[in-house]
Amino acid sequence: MTKVLVATEKPFAAAAVNGIREVVENAGYELVLLEKYTDKADLLKAVADVDGLIIRSDKVDAEVLDAAKNLKIVVRAGAGYDNIDLKAATEHNVVAENTPGQNSNAVAELVFGMTVMAARNMYSGTSGFELKGKHIGIQAFGQVGRNVARIAKGFGMDVEALDPYCPDSAMEEAGVKPVHSTEELYKNNLFVSIHIPATKETIGSIGYDLINLMPKGGVLINTARKEVIDEEGLARVLNDRPDLKYVADVKPGNAEMLEEKFAGRVFFTPKKMGAQTAEANINAGIAAANQVVAFIRDGVDRFRVN
């Protein structure tokens, strides 16, 4: 019998698991669950005889692929697929897919949860400021970036975006001003929200010089990946610029030091939680299940990334 494994170190909401089960069982396949695992050995064991695999930020490397002898498809229920070794997947003849857009509203809402918190001095009771009339720059105008723009407009903010892969006209249609360099984006905006993926080109790309361009009182919001930040540069600029704040859904490697040294100016969620809503879990989880079935049954690979 065809088997589909859901392997999630950070589990989906129960309603999402029920939805995934329905899709998988309606196709006549068996669903296997591995949740909250802490040991890679458990994952290696669980993948041994499965045909399809659904994951979140769970790492799928060559070792996992070696252990998954029957695997045909792995779907990352979410946007970023930097946790899958794409080259190894291709070498193992395994299709890798993501579910673009399915959790983007959840992430965008968290951007504003953290933005308001920073503007209100981390809810310390001191006088903060409002978002209305302020400038926000969106670094990458993909699915999350577009939702951030939509919500920012609701707050009455001026919105700019940078995305070399997106035509200016698409931004303009959304009432967003296109900018064409990271320097311009960081210089113009009191708030900058990061939505770039972690790639060879972007890793470590946001550091001292760029952040230092931000206007007085600037707030940098990162709900993307910690790897895109040059953490040493971030620490230096927070030190030299006591007016700046950094809030992130992705704990930096030097989080403890930053929290101690820059208390009240930095905030990190304890665990990545941008996509951790029932709605996002249901959307991304069920999309992933449908994609697994569509590939195994009909060979459809519309969301293939390798």
Q: Is the dihedral of CA 115, 121, 238, 189 positive or negative?
A: positive
Rounded Cα distance between 165 and 204, Å, is 20
94 part of the interface to ligand 3PG, by CB under 6 A? no
- CA angle at 188 for the pair 183 and 191, rounded to the nearest 5°: 100
By CB under 6 A, name the one of 60, 75, 136, 275 that touches ligand 3PG.
Answer: 275
Residue 283 in the binding site for ligand 3PG (CB under 6 A): no
Q: Which of 106, 102, 49, 105 is nearest to 291 (CA)?
A: 102
CB of 12 to ligand 3PG, least distance (A): 9
Among 47, 54, 73, 79, binds ligand 3PG (CB under 6 A): 79
H or E stretch at 18? helix 14-26
- In the bound state with ligand 3PG, the residue whose beta carbon lies nearer, of 248 and 258, is 248
Tell me the β-bridge partners of 229.
206
Nearest to 183 by CA among 221, 214, 147, 225: 214
Contact 255, 249 (CB under 8 A): no
Among 142, 272, 277, 295, interactor with ligand 3PG by CB under 6 A: 272
Closest by Cα among 252, 253, 255, 236 to 244: 236
Site string for ligand 3PG, 34-73 (x = CB under 6 A): ----------------------xx----------------
C-beta of 59 vs 150, nearer to ligand 3PG? 59
Question: Is the Cβ–Cβ distance between 172 and 178 less than 8 Å?
Answer: yes
Interface residue with ligand 3PG among 78, 142, 145, 218 (CB under 6 A) is 78
* 265 sits near ligand 3PG (criterion: CB under 6 A): no
CB of 16 to ligand 3PG, least distance (A): 11
Number of residues that bind ligand 3PG (CB under 6 A): 11
Report the interface residues with ligand 3PG, using CB under 6 A: 10, 56-57, 78-80, 103, 272, 274-276
